[in-house]
Structure 1
């Protein structure tokens, strides 16, 4: 054999051994409401892309995206045409924007991320333009862009002249979306104007593990709220520029050799940045870590709220710079900001306007990594496994057609995967189950394009005898760990007793279980039978339709459970029909959001949301040691017609709020869902909260400052003598007159803490 042939053979063998499983595994995903043969999985090379760094692959990549006519230009939204567009390793030269469709994931080889490299004459708004301006408006309303991912790429604009405008990814997005494991390479010339990540609208959201090299701005962003974790910026003129926000949480920033770290100076006369929380981060060789427009005379009152905790500085002369000079000095050597901020604080009474050092939150050891920072863990992508180490749900007999009873087949597939030490691959489909699916210790489940497990039938429809749809651990306190990622749990038709996820597993704090990009989506999609045709909104009419009582609880973490890491988990009861061309609003009744009553606690919630549940969105009872990073809630749009007294009776064993008694003497719309309720719990550490009440009986007239924020009377509560070390950074509320109550007494009033659209409290400590 000639040497060249031998080397090619060896290279081919090595490539085969090291190939990422996603490219090799058999793909059986089935979209039951698309046409027969619709391709859920698409490998761009099957559509002509070369990935050789020479061929222009733009047309081929976009052909892979548009195959099967998914939701593109002019389409409002959909769940019927899911897609995974897979990029094997290589360099894909592109001369125009890649434009992913709605409900589409772009995924590169996790073991060798592919490069999208722009040509010198590139034309388009973003190498990846995830929400194009086909007209003067975004193609999709940014606050309704859900269920999308981009991960495992290198985005390279270095061929584009530095002085020409260029954007790596255009990402106006909202809940249940994520960016992960992406490197942005941009020129470093003095005249560079390139931007890595740009978003101007939305209601997000979560991103993690991004690296920005060069450019004028690493990330330029405007969005309601976001959680961003593990972002690295190297040699950017400005690492982060905020166009606007309501609330933002950063964890694990590493900003190196930049001119400015975070710029929150946007706004002329009115500060556009609502609040920023930064913790467990570092700035190195950067003249100004944070540049702010906040002053003691800022307008509105609490705009520009900033809280810093555990920030390491190395050769950063100015830590915080404002229009009145240096607010916080840094060091030309090394120093650590223990805690500092500006805004309004309640410790526990207030408001007190402050700008200076703070007492840092006491951190339970069980929540920390060995470096003293809060524990974090990125979603596993199993890049070291081969395709043979996965078991397919559909190959195991499950249909995923939204009609067949898949209970037995799906349970058998899970059990077989665990017994063989393999990962269950939940091929795309809607898996209808009529009794509880049990997840035993040791399980690893990965969904394809948000495959859905959907409860149905009478087993789940007894409001007085709730049953779990997905039960993790057979009994409360069972020991072990599981890993769950990239799928949805839902309900079909009336399901008044459905608890979508019951978490019983007790995992060690040093090796917790994990949920990444796992969501509950209750109603509002084809197959749910909980859409416009069944549950159209009826403003002014308090009558509850029985067929629209669709869940008892989204997620229950039981008393014996412990050790769970949750990242980008959205517990959503649909407010509108995603598959309706007009996104028409619907009225659905889901009793409770996330209920944690674990006595041991030790939970991490990064970038989670809980929306439109009747009684509460988050409730923590007699628990402890919980980290929460930018939680986001919305009160049901129909309340108070009917109010939170119906249709779910208050269950004392679940510590449900009893509005019939607790609202005595409270004026306004009191019997409305709590955004956050903490009962007799300790070491509850909230790093960002957006608790929103936009509607009263489907009217938004109540949610403005001019209207007096009258959508509901109260939205967050700390209750009981057992509460201690309940601390909140960046509490942002909309539509509620009282931002926070302690044992029924209002602590913070919206009018005292006016921000750009919400009211904001920088620091609350329970005392």
Structure 2
């Protein structure tokens, strides 16, 4: 049982350098500065008063803003306290954002070293990652789940955390032995590394310093620069539009898209690398910025086609900056009516950290609207509501938001477009796609959840950039199970020209993904079939055993997938079969590149795609069955 900590106040802080200077000048013993004289040397010249720093935004009690004038010891104590609350808070309701104003934090002798727990966002507030430097380490270690936290150390459940928009100068000074050898980021799904510049040391995506088995099942890296990267035990990983010096290895499925320094393609599955020279469609996630006067805004990057490398290498990321004054800054408890009224009047929406109970739909109807969540802000459906709906308009960006099913079944949790007409306005724009970035879904886990469909995309020219769509396989007792938390499909795509970069969908009871639209593209797909069908009779249809993880509709003529895996672990009934992991029409325009199935210890997938590919079962647990290309 998770015991919530008491409400905290006064944790949103801002101390711009100018404000610190003024405070020092006003203190006891501050020297008076004589006013300059005019050119004749006789009359003092009137001086303009120094600009008044912008007022500190009120982001609520779960956002902490640090400035570089603060003592390292004070910052260290604050981040350590947040980590202590969140490190094991997997199914809790607390949410946190730790934001750093431009400057340098930590020194060579006194580095700032801390760990990032559940539902915690760590981000710099500069225009460029180089504007904020952390001299130290920002890490995620394995969680040791058995024997009082000493054995069974894994990263398989290290979900829901974010690191972005800063330079990490790796400094392990003072850490013991193995811990000083790398900055550890041992994570799995729903964790993003974006706009991070790692210098001075190794970035390890596994934690090799704890007792085994050290498994990890991530993950996502985008718009970042790093030297040596240890992939280690990561079963799968997706790296997009980045610059890397070296990459150590792959386990089952490592996909690189538009990444300088990526391993060469062409020998799959040994090693299991999939490398695209360019990313077909990309748009970086919006990010909060503070200018030198302390004024806040949200930078919204522009979309790109056939892109490669980082967006900030030659200066500020292309796009637009929206002043914070143009946002409705919401807190948990604000009514949906107030949010919708602000949206209808042309405001954008900033969701501060917390859990929002949503009993009626938040309706985004205007093109180019931005909805940005801080600290894994979470919308929970109440009374069967659809928490969020986007009209058939171009350029909307939804980012940093988690959407949970509630105890009453919802038809859908997020619906993009309705295809019911749009009053003559353009429905979509391939140069300005509606974009979902770091948008996550849950059916069960912290509480019972029910929804027929988690994400439904009806609009054309939509970009899905990193999503984890999850029906729970574990959680609070009584919150998950075949007849408890129900979800038919994770993602249904009806729109044409939809692109997904980083598509993670797991455990849904029928097809996890159904792709009905034409010209769809997926770069990296990860899937686990449901663990909990009670028997084969409960999990089959039309003479087919089970349901594929990824279904392209029978009438689709053109679709492409690069780098996809579907895994089985039917531990409730290990005798269950799925006929295939992927199901697609037999037509030359539908092509799957580098796909695989894996048995995780229970159940059988008979074929990889349709009737092609060898089976995976308990006879070859952990050994993938690969297809280089289909057909």
Greater relative contact order (CA < 8 Å, ≥ 6 in sequence): 1
Higher strand content, 1 or 2: 1
Return the alpha-carbon distance in structure 2 between the equivalents of residues 574 and 563 of structure 1. 30
Q: Where does residue 761 of structure 1 map in the other structure?
A: 626
CA drift of 1:71 comes to 2.5
Contact 1:554 1:593 in 2 (8 A): yes
Pick the aligned partner of 2:101 from 74, 77, 88: 88
Is residue 2:563 matched to residue 1:638?
no
Q: Give the match's secondary structure for 2:339.
A: helix
> Are residues 751 and 631 of structure 1, via their aligned partners in 2, closer, same or farther at CA, if it must alter by over 3 Å?
closer
For residues 310 and 393 of structure 2, the distance between their equivalents in structure 1, rounded to whole angstroms, comes to: 21
| 1:66 matches 2:75 | no
- What is the alpha-carbon distance in structure 2 between the residues aligned to residue 604 and residue 450 of structure 1? 24
Instruction: Name the counterpart of 1:411.
Output: 340
**Contact map agreement 1:62 1:99 (CA 8 A) in 2:** no
- Partner of 1:719 in structure 2? 585
Tell me if 1:180 matches 2:54.
no
The alpha-carbon deviation at position 153 of structure 1 amounts to: 1.5
Kept after mapping to 2: 8 A contact 1:392/1:426: yes
The Cα shift of 1:206 comes to: 0.9
In structure 2, the partner of 1:100 is 116
From 551, 566, 573, the equivalent of 2:451 is: 551
Residue 50 (structure 1) aligns with:
69
* Aligned mate of 1:240, from 234, 241, 247: 247
Matching residue of 2:160: 147
Mapped to 2, the partners of 1:685 and 1:144 lie a distance apart of 30
- Aligned-partner SS, 1:60: helix
Out of 602, 613, 620, the position equivalent to 1:748 is 613
Per-residue CA deviations over 1:364-416 (Å, capped at 9, x if unaligned) read: xxxx966x55999899998844332322123xxx616xxxxx33233223323
1:230-629 equivalence runs, <5 A: 230-233=241-244, 236=245, 239-242=246-249, 244-255=250-261, 262=263, 303-308=270-275, 310=277, 372=306, 384-394=321-331, 399=333, 406-416=335-345, 419=346, 422-442=347-367, 443-457=369-383, 460=385, 468-473=386-391, 478-495=392-409, 497-504=410-417, 506-525=427-446, 528=447, 530=448, 550-558=450-458, 561-577=459-475, 587-598=484-495, 601-621=496-516, 623-629=517-523
CA shift, 1:61, in A, is 2.7
Query: 1:634–1:644: structure 2 CA closer, same or farther, 3 Å change rule?
Result: farther
Pair 1:518–1:309, CA change in 2 (3 A) = closer
Aligned-pair CA distance for 1:501? 1.4
CA displacement at 1:756 relative to structure 2: 8.2
Measure the CA separation in 1 of the matches of 2:389 and 2:172.
51
Matched, 1:691 2:566: yes
Q: In 2, distance between residues paired with 1:85 and 1:625? A: 40
Q: What is the count of residue pairs matched by the alignment?
A: 529
Deviations 1:99-119 (A, max 9, x none): 22322111111325311114x
> Distance between the aligned counterparts of 1:83 and 1:675, measured in 2?
33
- TM normalised by structure 1 equals 0.62
What is the match of residue 129 of structure 1? 139
Change (3 A) 1:220 1:227: closer
Mark the CA change 1:183 to 1:564 in structure 2 (over 3 Å): closer, same or farther.
same
Q: CA deviation at 1:154?
A: 1.0
Unaligned runs of 5+ in 2: 1-32, 37-46, 208-214, 280-302, 419-426
Structure 1 contact 569–607 (Cα < 8 Å) conserved:
yes
Cα 1:369–1:453 change in 2 (3 A) is: closer
Task: Provide Cα deviations, 1:91-150, integer angstroms capped at 9, x if missing partner.
Answer: 1114363122322111111325311114xxxxxxxx122226889858974111111001
Q: Determine the C-alpha separation between the residues in 1 that align with 2:469 and 2:48.
A: 48
* 1:15-72 superposed Cα distances (whole Å, 9 cap, x missing partner): x57xxxxx942112xxxxxxxxxx4111234xxx636xxx6x2552342341595123
The residue aligned with 1:540 is none
Consecutive unaligned residues of structure 1, counting only runs of 5 or more, are 18-22, 29-38, 119-126, 187-193, 256-260, 263-277, 280-289, 295-301, 313-367, 401-405, 461-467, 531-547, 646-658, 664-669, 703-709
Deviation of 1:303 after TM superposition, in Å, equals: 4.6
Cα gap change, 1:595 to 1:376, in 2 (>3 Å): farther
Contact 2:463 2:498 in 1 (8 A): yes
Could you say what secondary structure the match of 2:497 adopts? strand
Q: CA deviation at 1:597?
A: 2.1
CA offsets per residue over residues 549-570 of structure 1, 9 Å max, x none?
x111111222xx2111111111
Other-structure match for 1:283: none
Decide whether aligned partners of structure 1 residues 738 and 638 sit closer, same or farther in structure 2, where only a CA change above 3 A counts.
same
Shift of 1:247: 0.6
Residue 584 of structure 1, CA deviation: 8.3
Instruction: Report the Cα distance in structure 2 between the residues aligned to 1:390 and 1:444, rounded to whole angstroms.
Output: 9
How do 1:662-677 and structure 2 match up within 5 A?
Answer: 662-663=543-544, 670=545, 672-677=546-551
Spell out, residue by residue over 1:552-592, the C-alpha distance to the aligned partner (whole angstroms, 9 max, x if none): 1111222xx21111111111112211x56x99878521111
Query: If the length of structure 2 is used for normalisation, what is the TM-score?
Result: 0.74
CA positional deviation for 1:436: 2.9
Change (3 A) 1:382 1:392: farther
The match for 1:25 is 57
Contact 2:258–2:278, Cα closer than 8 Å, also in 1: no
Q: State how far apart, in whole Å, the 2-side matches of 1:11 and 1:627 are.
A: 56
Provide closer, same or farther for how the CA distance between residues 95 and 452 of structure 1 changes in structure 2, counting only shifts above 3 A: closer
Deviations 1:659-688 (A, max 9, x none): 44233xxxxxx1x23201112223321111
Structure 2: distance between partners of 1:138 and 1:567 = 35
Q: How far off its partner does 1:617 sit?
A: 0.6
